[in-house]
Amino acid sequence: MTETVTPNANVRMTAGERAGIPPRRMDFQFADDTKRYWYADNAFLTTFWTTLSALFPAGETFFIDSVKNYRDRVTDQHLKDQISGFIGQEAMHTKEHQAFNDMAEKHGLPSARIDKELWSLLGLAKKLFPKKLQLAITVALEHYTAILAEQLLRDKEHQSNIQDREALKLWMWHALEENEHKTVAYDVYELIGGGYFTRVFAMIVATIGFVLFVGQGHLRMLWANGTLFSLKDNAKGLWKLIGWKGLFPQLFFKYMDFYRPGFHPNDHDTVQLLEDWRQRMLEDGGLLSEQTYSKVRQA
């Protein structure tokens, strides 16, 4: 059971807050006239990020469930608190990206269809895959989201490309929280005796699945948008993703770190980065200071 209270209410600290992983409900509002090509005035890149957003409701729910499967095995109070924060944050990501996806649907993009298909696919995975493998896949995909989010927090050009303020708030808030809870699934996996080879196998499975599902979803977004054959625009956008200084080449070495024995998400130090962004977003005058948000209290 959950209840929400305002940040200045005289209440005790939540488990997530104690662990430094506070769930924040932002209630973003995306207007019907939100700029169609809100990322760099580019249809290819806008539909790419919209495709990623379409994955979050089903994907984040899968992450939550895979960790919940082992919640009763955790005895360390700090990790228990971290799990509570992780679940709360991921639940809020699901909610806020659903609002974003509803906006994309109003632009004629098939976010709802892609979302429905992923729910079905992950539902099948829950039936077929052992729970430990489900958790390992979560660990792998959490690595993806953590390094992608870190890049967004570090890259000023990336931030300036998001030309709608509400979209900017959504993606930066999400990026902050992904790095706040990036160790939780990994630590639970290690606690239950998850091994190196299962972790690597899960990353290979997750990578293949991610590339195939995002690829076909993005193509359908472009088709629905009427820009699948806009070669010049698409080439420009594709270069931003896979060109010499594109997004994915910049992430390559951090992605490959996952295959190193002994790797831990904290090997990528984001402590000061997150503190800087909490100030830039949450304090007076920050990006989210105008946002009326509530903290989610978990019973």
Q: What is the pLDDT of residues 102-160, one digit of tens each?
A: 999 999 999 999 999 999 999 999 999 999 999 999 999 999 999 999 999 999 999 99
As given in the structure block, the two tokens for residue 88 are: 């709360």
As given in the structure block, the two tokens for residue 172 are: 């930066």
Kindly list the distances between the CA atom of residue 81 and the CA atoms of 71, 122, 136, 212, 268, in Å, as whole numbers in the listed order: 11, 26, 21, 35, 22
Q: What pLDDT, on the 0 to 100 scale, is given for residue 11?
A: 59
DSSP state, 215? Answer: H
The rounded distance, in Å, linking the Cα atoms of 247 and 45 is: 11
Q: What pLDDT, on the 0 to 100 scale, is given for residue 208?
A: 97
Give the DSSP H or E segment for 34. Answer: none
As given in the structure block, the two tokens for residue 151 are: 């890049």
As given in the structure block, the two tokens for residue 265 are: 């998400």
Kindly list the distances between the CA atom of residue 279 and the CA atoms of 20, 181, 275, in Å, as whole numbers in the listed order: 14, 18, 6
Give which of 288, 38, 28 is closest to 163, Cα–Cα. 38
Does 5 have pLDDT greater than 60? no
Extents of the domains making up the chain = 2-289
As given in the structure block, the two tokens for residue 210 are: 């991610």
The pTM of this model reads 0.92
Residue showing tokens 């900017």 = 168
* Fold (topology level) of 2-289: Ribonucleotide Reductase, subunit A (1.10.620)
Give CA angle at 292 (288, 293), nearest 5°: 85
As given in the structure block, the two tokens for residue 134 are: 């489900």
Q: With cut-offs at 50, 70 and 90, classify the pLDDT of residue 25.
A: confident
Q: What is the pLDDT of residues 145-163, one digit of tens each?
A: 999 999 999 999 999 999 9
Instruction: Tell me what the mean pLDDT of segment 25-32 comes to.
Output: 89
Residue showing tokens 């509002």 = 29
H-assigned helices in 107-195: 111-128, 131-154, 156-161, 165-180, 184-191
Q: With cut-offs at 50, 70 and 90, classify the pLDDT of residue 60.
A: very high
Instruction: Tell me what the mean pLDDT of segment 238-247 comes to.
Output: 94
DSSP state, 164? Answer: S
Task: Convert 215-237 to b/e letters by CB count within 10 Å (16 or more is b).
Answer: eebbebbbebbebbebeebbebb
